[in-house]
A and B are shown apart, each in its own frame.
Chain A
Amino acid sequence: MAPEIHPIVLLFASVFTSNILLANFLGMCSFISISKDMKSANGLGLAVTVVLTITSMLNWVLLKFVIIPLDLIYLRYIIFIIVIAATVQILEMIIDRVSPALYLSLGIFLPLITVNCAILGVALFMQIREYNFVQTVVFSFGSGIGWWLAIMALSAINKKIEKAPVPPALKGPGITLITIGFMAMAFIGFSGMLSVQ
């Protein structure tokens, strides 16, 4: 419970010290399969950041004005997941209408996001840590940026690894996981600056 955290501190914390992927292990599934190509990594990172920010705001409003007053807390998983799925669907339709070019580059990633653990994870963290609205916005936006940063860094590293002599059995997911481990260690270095948990 940390309701008194300053929003700017929370923003930095969610990007660096408690990075949603490297410290909380969320959003790994699509992370490993997409991280091979920088362009799609960028598209997915953008999509995750947008969806994460929008759905967390919606979920916070629902939590505050519907779930808690009606005492439906045990239904929160279903409500959160429906909000996420619906938001993704609506965004997909809007992007398709407004900008077909953007749809081409982003469209294929949107369905992947529904099952991205980071989105649901942020909603649940927001509920458990009892963030207020501003904190929720900052936390979800920061987490999205943190995820984006991590996937871009990893895909850039993967480009180099392709040329490196990796043992055959370690190739593929094995070396990717070990790389993520090193990245996580590097990010732990930030935790001296501030800590929010």
Chain B
Amino acid sequence: MNGDSPAKILKENVWTNNPIFIQILGICSTLAVTNNLTNTLIMTLGVMFVAAFTNITVSLLKQVIPRKVRMIVQTLIIAFYVIIVDILLRAYLPEISKSLGPYVGLIITNCIIMGRAEAFAQSHGPLISAWDGLTSGLGYMWVLMLIAFVREILGFGTVFGYAVLPETFTPWTIMVMAPSAFFLLGSVLWIAKAIILKKERGK
């Protein structure tokens, strides 16, 4: 994988090898907050930040970390950045921090971050690793933002908290509850896979 160009990494992480489509990695911590666009945006930005900085750190330290304990070292590096995110959120966005509750801390166990550190940062330089972390976060973000958009507009009739649908609109209560997140993610996977399969057949 050495010598990958930034554009290729961007395309892979955002579309062809999107962490959510291909391996459904890392949805545990964020799916729970997708009934609200603002929370999802903050959450995915947090994931992006942590992924990028973890990748830089792991890439810089890869020669120093003994192979046998690298999992726990990576987890601690991730935890370090998650604590920074948590403290920043609590200082500047206390309302959102409160409504996110335990889910910010759960970024630690988000498999995407560990997965990228293991698969990419271990064998690449720090700059390209940072780019990889950022684009993985971006690929993750657009899928979850899409889900959050559908859930918020149908569940509350709002976008980022602003009412956009007329008052006569009846909110779909199911969109606010847990099952809709599973249905929507399943549907997004279905559409994405259908497009990918069609392209493959066209080749």
Contacts and interface: CB of A to CB of B under 8 A. Distances in A.
Interface of A: 22-29, 32, 74-78, 81-82, 85, 114-121, 124-125, 127-128, 167-170, 172-178, 180-182, 184-185, 188
Contacts of B190: 167, 169-170, 174
Greatest chain B CB density within 10 A among A119, A169, A175 is at: A169
Interface residues of B, number: 43
Contact of A24 (B27, B32, B80, B191): B32
Contacts of B187: 174, 178
Interface string B88-113: 00000000000001100110111100
B38 to A, nearest CB: 18
A117 B82 contact: no
B50 to A, nearest CB: 12
Interface string B72-88: 10011001101100110
B189 A174 contact: yes
A81 B102 CA distance: 14
Given A78-B76, A81-B108, 18 more contacts: A22-B178, A25-B27, A26-B28, A29-B27, A77-B79, A77-B82, A77-B105, A81-B76, A121-B106, A124-B102, A124-B105, A169-B190, A177-B185, A178-B186, A181-B180, A181-B181, A181-B182, A185-B179
A25 B111 contact: no
Nearest to B20: A173
B188 to A, nearest CB: 9
Contact of A117 (B28, B83, B177, B186): B28
Contacts of A180: 182
Nearest to A79: B79
B179 A78 contact: no
A77 B177 CA distance: 28
Nearest to B174: A185
A169 B83 contact: no
B22 to A, nearest CB: 9
A188 B109 contact: no
A119 B191 CA distance: 32
B193 interface: yes
Given A169-B193, A169-B197, A29 B108 contact: no
Nearest 3 pairs of A and B residues by beta carbon: A181-B182, A124-B102, A177-B186
Contacts of B101: 124, 128
A85 B82 contact: no
A85 B24 CA distance: 23
A23 B32 CA distance: 8
22 contacts: A25-B181, A27-B28, A28-B28, A29-B25, A74-B83, A74-B86, A75-B83, A76-B105, A78-B80, A115-B111, A115-B114, A125-B102, A168-B197, A169-B190, A170-B186, A173-B24, A173-B186, A174-B186, A174-B187, A174-B193, A177-B186, A181-B182
A124 to B, nearest CB: 3
Nearest to A169: B194
A81 B75 CA distance: 8
B179 A181 contact: yes
A32 B194 CA distance: 20
B160 interface: no
Contact of B109 (A23, A116, A170, A184): A116
